[in-house]
Copies of this chain bind each other. A is one copy, B any other.
Amino acid sequence: MVNNKFLVIYGDLAEKIQSGRFPAYSLLPSEHELAARYGVSRETIRKALNMLAQDGYIQKVRGKGSIVLDVARFNFPVSGLVSFKELAERSGKKWKTIVYELILQKPDHLMKNLLQITGNEDVWKVVRSRELDGERIILDIDFIKRSRVPTLTKEICENSLYEYFENDLGLVISFAKKEITVEEVTAADRAYLDLKGTDHVVVVKNFVHLDDATLIQYTESRHRLDKFRFVDFARRQKSVNGLLAGVRSGK
């Protein structure tokens, strides 16, 4: 059960936009109107509307109203923090995960630095390839702090680490810093991916944090070039850059 009114309203409006009950380029009812309709205060409506704007459903225009954006045309932005299993199932295609390596090891210097380990903590290393429609197109190399994840099995790695973290261990994955670059293929790429002759892969480096801000996992996702796609909805910062100008130049 969801208790938060603004989340319910967000979901309701998002559904109505996606289903076309609020057509693209039309105006949403005004905030006052929505507040009356849902029986909540205007600030609660505004919270839901701001989330919709953030996620690319609407564009708010002062003095005018909230314009419904063409979600279909936007082709469903899938950035954010989503597991391969969630993505694959959303696509409706056949998927499989193959586990090549699952070991507990002492982190080397580089890995201690990346995972911010100071003591003698061990680290899980997991190497998996992701198969979609019969082709191994992604190679995932995970390093996970043992202090947060005491046990790990092949079965878990074949299903979904995030699902295990969240549902079984009660961990709450909260945010990640990700970096996308392109690198030359390694021996591991050649061994565990169906490369089709290309000599580069897209590399997504992911630092995953829990809701208490601690780092739990570093992941390197290596994608075959022709199968990589990243879609994002970006808003332009207004005066923030100006506000921070002194920080970059000064001190």
Which residues on A are within 8 Å of B, measured CB to CB? Answer: 2, 7-8, 10-11, 14-15, 18-19, 25, 56, 59, 61, 64, 67, 69, 74-75, 77, 79-82, 86, 90, 173-182, 198, 200, 202, 209, 211-213, 225-226, 228-237, 239-241, 243-244, 246-248, 251
Contact = CB atoms under 8 A, between A and B. Distances in A.
Contact of A228 (B14, B182, B240): B182
Contact of A234 (B69, B80, B228, B251): B80
Contacts of A233: 175-178
A90 B248 contact: yes
A89 to B, nearest CB: 10
Given A178-B233, A180-B230, A232-B232, 20 more contacts: A2-B239, A8-B243, A14-B243, A14-B244, A15-B247, A18-B247, A19-B247, A59-B175, A74-B177, A79-B232, A80-B237, A81-B234, A81-B235, A173-B236, A176-B234, A177-B232, A180-B232, A182-B200, A182-B202, A198-B200
Contact of A243 (B10, B59, B82): B10
A240 B77 CA distance: 14
A55 to B, nearest CB: 8
Contacts of A244: 11, 14-15, 18
12 contacts: A14-B243, A18-B244, A56-B175, A67-B212, A74-B177, A79-B234, A80-B234, A81-B234, A180-B180, A180-B228, A182-B225, A200-B200
Give the copy number: 2
Contacts of A248: 90
Contact of A211 (B59, B202, B211, B246): B59
Contacts of A67: 212-213
A179 B14 CA distance: 22
Contacts of A75: 177, 179
- Pairs of residues from A and B, 8 with the lowest C-beta to C-beta distance, nearest first: A11-B243, A59-B213, A81-B236, A180-B230, A182-B225, A67-B213, A81-B234, A175-B235
A15 B230 contact: no
Given A59-B211, A200-B225, A243-B2, A236 B80 contact: yes
